[in-house]
A and B are shown apart, each in its own frame.
Chain A
């Protein structure tokens, strides 16, 4: 089965997740449009409560029942709508086509089973490959560079370091060669030098399997290292998306630009950091119109109306009535 070059791997169209089925229920995420092409990495950046994890969970239909009832819109995976899929279809998609790595490996691994046991569970479902389960489990651990993999199969999760545990989770999620990997803050619980190595490993595995990746993070440094494209979320909406260089060099949304400026960097000693006033709104207290206008230095009367998301440059969309002009840091 070959996929047409023009058809995106995953096409998300006006996806919303509300707290229940009523049209007036508050939305956790609203009117999300995103496309994934095979092999590319899309970074999804935002602060806590912006809805990035809800989006990741919706893609695998892993939302709690209340939110599942509030799901609307389409998620076309190679033409099939995940939002309408039955249980059999979802079982085929989950792990096999789309897989996931979560933030805390201690919470994703079962503490009472050996990691060999947990690796083989996934392998057993995938009966087409040759070789014994044991051999394939060892190969899976080798692929994520776990030293002496044969002995490690008999380890329990607590006998491994945090970095190693996250690599085991990576091995498990990749056993069925998914086409898309959702990585939700996979390195947030790791030390910086361990994070670096895990990101390098992920990139390498991705290249070899030509797998697409949705990389959910709050860290612009991680986005810069890992991603081809970026979507910035604020209060449940995508406020800007585009190629990674475009977003970093010429951000058009005031939020993106202010967020990039507020991160301290190693090469400049500043007296003060530029800040964004206030804090992100709670789901039930999201403002009318542009969601960012109460914190925006450029807010005007027009901002009380909801801005549409519009293409401002090739493949670069922004949701703002008065987008920024010019290069970042040039002023």
Chain B
């Protein structure tokens, strides 16, 4: 297969929210394009309110876009046949942030992991229990653990169970929404390694959503940086982390505190508050916080210009016609 497994075209989601006594439009995600190639990991980085969770829900077909399309192997997901939709559900599996709420406390671990397998026709009970044992071992637990309940496991082990469930149906894509944020530091590294091993072993495509650029650098091949519902920069993980172009990406990098007491002070430290997505600033939505803003920034929304690192950046400073 040569094309992307999942792609998004001009994807948008508008919520109607009551505000000051009337309904207002909240643009959670706007004009978002992305492509996920088989076996690649796409990192999605941004802070609260940037739309990364809404994006995740739309890519999982748990929420319906109000604009644009999600495509599964080139087919518009809005028009998938019931059969194709079932294939999508097997092929694309989620892992959520908090394994205390994503695992049903009344189900045994074996049942939790076997649940997605029930959608696969022709699997016998023996096949299912063998598969449950396999995936438990793949995430570093024991096949016997299938008989136990989630409350018998620590937070890190629970997240391994959630990952085991996600890979049980041999998916092609994992959608990972902040999968280590609720974990202790000594556990984070374990979970990230498990995910990376599985990715390599099964050739999984992953969407890895996180607010932490260092974690994304470790996990992802390509990165999109989101701010107030829009992609403001895209490129390879290495290029975004070593030669960021957008002032917001620079601020995010500056805010990432390295474990080094002699780290140099950042060139562009972050300033200002994240504006309300209900009332986003005009022009470039980052202009209210941008130390490099100029007269054009509050009037005109920047398009995606080519960035020096080979990706794209939505910032007027990179307009090739600037200053002509």
- The chain A residues found within 8 Å of chain B, CB to CB, are 47-48, 161, 163-164, 191-197, 200, 218-225, 244-245, 248, 258-260, 262-267, 269-277, 279-280
Contacts and interface: CB of A to CB of B under 8 A. Distances in A.
Given A225-B261, A280-B184, 9 more contacts: A47-B184, A47-B185, A164-B273, A192-B212, A195-B255, A265-B214, A266-B242, A266-B253, A279-B154
Contact of B254 (A194, A196, A219, A259): A196
Contacts of B270: 192-194, 196-197
B255 A262 contact: no
B168 to A, nearest CB: 24
Contacts of A220: 185, 259
A271 B218 CA distance: 8
A272 B196 contact: yes
A248 B189 contact: no
A186 B281 CA distance: 29
A273 B273 contact: no
Interface string B35-54: 00000000000011000000
23 contacts: A161-B273, A163-B273, A192-B211, A193-B251, A193-B274, A220-B185, A224-B257, A224-B259, A224-B260, A224-B261, A248-B259, A248-B260, A262-B186, A262-B188, A264-B192, A264-B214, A264-B218, A267-B258, A269-B217, A271-B196, A272-B196, A275-B193, A279-B184
Interface residues of B, number: 44
Contacts of A275: 186, 189-190, 193
B102 interface: no
A196 B159 CA distance: 29
Contacts of A195: 255
A269 B215 contact: no
A266 B259 contact: no
Given A197-B270, A270-B218, A263 B187 contact: no
A248 B156 CA distance: 26
Contacts of B25: none
Interface string B177-188: 000000011111
B262 interface: yes
Given A218-B184, A264-B217, A269-B217, A244 B261 contact: yes
A279 B186 contact: yes
B282 interface: no
Given A193-B255, A264-B215, A273 B261 contact: no
Contacts of A222: 257
Nearest to B217: A266
B193 A273 contact: yes
